[in-house]
A and B are shown apart, each in its own frame.
Chain A
Amino acid sequence: MANRKKGASSFHQTRAPLFFLAPNLLIFFIFIIIPAVSGLRMSFYEWSILGGHSFTGISNYQALIGDAMFWKTLGNTLRFVLFVVPLLTASALCIALLVSAEDSSNGLFRGFYYLPTMLSFVIVGITWRWILGDEIGVLNYIIKQTGGESVQWLTLPAMATTSLIFISVWAQTGFYMVMFVGGLQAIPESLFDAASIDGASKWQTFTKIKLPMIRPTMLVVVVLATINSFKAFELIFVLTKGGPGTATKFLVQSIYQVAFEEDRMGYASSMAVILMLVIGVLTMLQFKLNKEYSNE
């Protein structure tokens, strides 16, 4: 089944790792890469789902340059990512620090914080829509009961963006918290014993031991949060439909609209290719920074 290499202590092998990678690569290749390549091909065509298609070269990409809606939604997306990723990482890490110790109640607390993650985005969306409604929203109702002024949570463009960022963080914190808890729990006890013998303060323990030890986890969290925020779609669509107007319309929603409503598959594919390039470059950058930081 696997190849035996007697006594070899070298990790320079090809056959074994390829064997280990095979199942995953096979699935990726068949179900994602092949369709993605046809998607890439489509971006050089004018392509209708029900109608025909004709080769148009790079004209889709040229059209993107002058497409105001594309730039606006790309801008909206970038702004959203810039806010969500740091907030999400920070909140997940702080909460993980609070509940990473194994005691009787922490398991339960983790369960509570993880709950929102278990809801599908559609449910999260309509629930919050209901809570944040101007007129019959629960939150405004409570505010009014306590004598305050009601707030237009989803109706004012600036407020809607803020609400969306908050809800996105709320809905995903539990997910990244679990990753951080895993990372924190994997830190060998002996390190902490040594630190307490040296009389390190809590803060020193955090900066000198915990932070460096969870850097691999941190990388996962930041990269995944970035990719997922770029792809955010369902939650936003259910909450605001991209509104008010186009204030919270992100690139994926734009792609969707162009692909299925306007039936311009080719053009939508070219937008998707650009989106992928942007995410790809940012992800590479994150890996690079991480490498430099840890001087590998």
Chain B
Amino acid sequence: MKKLFLVVMVMFVSLQAWGTGSQEPADTKEEMKKEVTLSILWFNDGNESEVFMNTIDDYLIANPHVKVDLQLVPFGDYEKRLKLLIAGGTPPDLARVTNNHVAMFADNLVVLDEKVKNLSAVTAGFNKGSLAFATNKAGKLVALPTEATANGMIVNVDAYAKAGIDIREYSKTWTWDQWYDAMKKVVAANDSLEYGLGFDFSPHRWSTLLYEAGGRFVNEEATAMAFDTPEAVDALKFFKKLHDDKLIPASVWMGSENPQELFQAGIVASHIGGSWVINKYDSDIKDFEWAAVNMPKRKIRSSVAGGKFVGVFAGAENEATAIELMLHFSDQKHNAMYCKETLNLSARTDANIIYPSRNEDFNAMAADLAITPAITAKDWKSPELNKIYSYIREQIIEGLLGNQTMEQTAKNIQDKGNTFF
């Protein structure tokens, strides 16, 4: 017993020695001289945090008094973590955020118009769509765009070739019907291939079909849902048809298999995923040729705009330094460096990136993005839409399972969404 106490005491003492590493709040004028440790919240797809650190390396060398505490949080817990920190009054200095987060935390982010001199010069190089995402309800800028994301179609070139389809040519002008035929053929022509398409398991990816069919989630004024429409039902039914005709494996939306892994294993002939998947496939696929191609057209051809941003939080401990670093990271040179290294589409029009490989694939996705209507961004900027994200997913699956009609699914989503407006 005595020994036990002794052990505990020793532990206590040694722990105290590690201490809390707390900081004195810095006075902004003095901040530039003092030691500053920036808390930066970050989530990862692939190697992004490493590249981020490399990108800001020159800033840290030039400013030896600045240290970085990079806090990696899994994407699934990211929102929760941010909400905790903000609710507790201890927001991070700088955070990587998605367009959904910008909408959600708009009131908690520093308004750049008030803090940055000659902001127009800073924003000149960005593409307008990305900037539109980064504004609050009053239209003021609260974050700086880093990369644009797109939903794109990636195909197994070899598999389509076996069916006698030169998919690069064929996909230049294809429609949903031609897409459907091509998938039928490619599945028939390949023994090892079981399905035509792996479709990422998220409402955001699914919404590609919605916009192409001419539908939308939220009305133009962002005051209510506008989902209970023939267009939305059309997109839902087409999605169900692809499942019913066994062109999409049930195991992705009904089970939890990863379409990316299915594509890699050569089980599905194509994959609708995010632009960053190019990076992934580039390093992981060794045994067949693949390419990113245009989305097939329904009423329109469209991707879904999205993006990642960096923002500084109001009330952050080291606001001035954080803004300085954000501007540094977002300028033309560093943004191009970051997007090139992470194989992402830049949110800057002047980035002029030549990727080490896969340039054509990026161009294919960028081309989709270029003709994507603004409503996609409007929709996904909506905090209300974000609140029913899981609900939408559940409802679509209830429809796919045949537990309810797709008309009912559209109505349910409409009604649930409207409770938040």
Contacts and interface: CB of A to CB of B under 8 A. Distances in A.
Contact present between A and B (CB < 8 A): yes
Interface stretch (A28-36, A130-138, A207-215, A270-278): A130-138
Central interface residue in A153, A154, A156, A245, by most chain B CB within 10 Å: A245
A152 B398 contact: no
A60 to B, nearest CB: 14
Contact of B194 (A50, A135, A249): A135
B256 interface: yes
B200 to A, nearest CB: 13
Interface stretch (A76-84, A85-93, A167-175, A236-244): A236-244
Nearest to B264: A136
Contacts of A241: 256, 393
Contacts of A257: 390-391
A245 B408 CA distance: 14
Interface residues of A, number: 30
Interface in B388-414: 388-391, 393-394, 397-398, 400-401, 403
A134 B394 contact: no
B257 interface: yes
B251 interface: yes
B83 to A, nearest CB: 5
Central interface residue in B79, B249, B251, B387, by most chain A CB within 10 Å: B251
B166 interface: no
A157 interface: yes
Interface string A46-89: 00011000000000000000000000000000000000000000
Central interface residue in A49, A134, A152, A241, by most chain B CB within 10 Å: A134
Contact of B256 (A49, A136, A240): A240
A268 to B, nearest CB: 13
Interface in A97-154: 129, 132-137, 152-154
B255 A155 contact: yes
Interface stretch (A3-11, A183-191, A219-227, A259-267): A259-267
Interface in B367-398: 386-391, 393-394, 397-398
A157 B391 CA distance: 18
Contacts of A260: 79-80, 83
A35 to B, nearest CB: 13
B324 interface: no
Interface string B246-265: 00011101111100011001
Given A243-B256, A245-B398, A260-B79, 15 more contacts: A50-B107, A129-B256, A132-B255, A134-B257, A135-B267, A152-B250, A155-B250, A155-B255, A239-B256, A241-B256, A243-B394, A244-B254, A249-B394, A260-B80, A261-B389
Interface of B: 79-80, 83, 86-87, 104-105, 107-108, 194-195, 249-251, 253-257, 261-262, 265, 267, 386-391, 393-394, 397-398, 400-401, 403, 420
10 contacts: A50-B108, A134-B249, A135-B257, A136-B262, A154-B254, A243-B254, A245-B394, A260-B83, A261-B386, A261-B389
